[in-house]
Copies of this chain bind each other. A is one copy, B any other.
Amino acid sequence: MKLDAMRAACSKCNLRELCLPMGLTDADLQHIDRLVGARRSLRRGDALFCAGEPFESIFAVRSGFFKTRVSVDDGRERVTGFQMAGELLGLDGISAERHTCDAIALEDSEVCVIGYSRLEEVSRDVLGLQRQFHRVLSREIVREQGVMLLLGGVRAEARLAAFLLNLGERLRSRGFSGSSMVLRMTREEIGSYLGIKLETVSRAFSRFQEESLLEVRQRNVRVVDEAGLRRLAFEAPG
C-alpha cells in the first residue's frame, strides 16, 4: 500500500467520462486537476479504509476492483457493494465524518485520492463540479434503492440474474465484453451482497447453466441468453 508521488490529472485521464468529471466542459476540466492529491496502490486483500476511521477523502477507482462491507455484531460480514474503475468509494463517510464500512481491494488496484475539503472548495468555484458531485451522491441513493428492491422483492435466481446483468452493463460501458466476464468475488461475497447463502448462489449458477442461460466455469461466466436472463430478473416473485 504505497503512496504514489505523481499527481493524477483528471483532464488527461481516460476514465474521465465515467468518473467524477463526467460531463464537465473542457474549461471546467482544467480547473479540477487540482482535485486529486495522489494515487494509492493496493494489493489484493488490502483495506483502502475501514469502518470507524476518520473521513478525510473519497476515492476514485483508477484500476482494479473493490468490495465494501460492514461487520455486523459478532464478526459476520455483509457486502454492501462492488466498485470498479471510475466508481467512487467513501461517500457514506461524509455524513458522520467517519467511514461506515470497510473498502477491500479484490485484486491489485489503484485509486485516486480526492481530499474532501478540497473537493468542497473546488466545487464552490466550478459549477459543473458541484452539480456533478451532487449527481453522483444522488445516483448512489438511486443505486441502493435498486438493491433494496432486489433484496426485498425477488427470489434468489432473479437476484443473481439482475446482478450479472448489472455487472455486464458496467463492464460494457468500460469497453469490455459484458457477456463474457471473470468474476472478481467469491460465491460467498456475491451471496452476502444479494442476501442469500453461497450454496444458493452456486445452485443458481448451476441451474442457469442447465437452462442454457449461462456458461459457467468457476469464476468465468459467459452470458449465452441475455434476454432470458433479463426475463428472469424482472419476473414477478413466486
A97: nearest chain-B partner, CB-CB: B135
CB <8 Å contact, B144 and A145:
yes
Min Cβ gap A98→B in Å is: 11
Q: Please indicate the chain B residues that have their CB under 8 angstroms from the CB of A73 in the complex.
A: 234, 236
**Is A217 an interface position by the 8 A CB rule?**
no
CB <8 Å contact, B72 and A135:
no
CB <8 Å contact, A138 and B72:
no
Q: Please indicate the chain B residues that have their CB under 8 angstroms from the CB of A175 in the complex.
A: none
Query: Within the complex, which residue of B94, B138, B148, B236 is in contact with A147, where a contact is CB–CB below 8 Å?
Result: B148
Among A41-49, A149-157, A177-185, the stretch that binds chain B is A149-157
CB <8 Å contact, B149 and A72:
yes
CB <8 Å contact, B124 and A120:
no
**Is A206 an interface position by the 8 A CB rule?**
no
Within 8 A of B (CB), among A131-185: 131, 134-142, 144-145, 147-149, 151-153
**Is A195 an interface position by the 8 A CB rule?**
yes
Query: Within the complex, which residue of B93, B136, B153 is in contact with A72, where a contact is CB–CB below 8 Å?
Result: B153
CB <8 Å contact, A95 and B152:
no
Q: How far is the CA of A127 from the CA of B121 in the complex (A)?
A: 9
CB <8 Å contact, A95 and B149:
no
Most buried by B among A123, A124, A138: A138
Query: Within the complex, which residue of B76, B92, B153, B234 is in contact with A145, where a contact is CB–CB below 8 Å?
Result: B92
Q: Please indicate the chain B residues that have their CB under 8 angstroms from the CB of A210 in the complex.
A: none
Q: How far is the CA of A92 from the CA of B72 in the complex (A)?
A: 27
Q: How far is the CA of A151 from the CA of B148 in the complex (A)?
A: 7
Query: Within the complex, which residue of B94, B153, B234 is in contact with A135, where a contact is CB–CB below 8 Å?
Result: B94
CB <8 Å contact, A76 and B236:
yes
Most buried by B among A130, A131, A149, A152: A152
Q: Please indicate the chain B residues that have their CB under 8 angstroms from the CB of A120 in the complex.
A: 127, 130-131, 134
CB <8 Å contact, B138 and A80:
no
A236: nearest chain-B partner, CB-CB: B74
Interface string of A48-81 (1 = CB under 8 A from B): 0000000000000000000000101110101010
Q: Other than A74-B236, A80-B149, give 5 A-B pairs with Cβ distance below 8 A.
A: A78-B152, A94-B138, A95-B138, A148-B148, A152-B196
**The 5 A-B residue pairs with the shortest CB-CB distance in the complex, in nearest-first order:** A152-B195, A94-B138, A95-B138, A151-B151, A144-B144
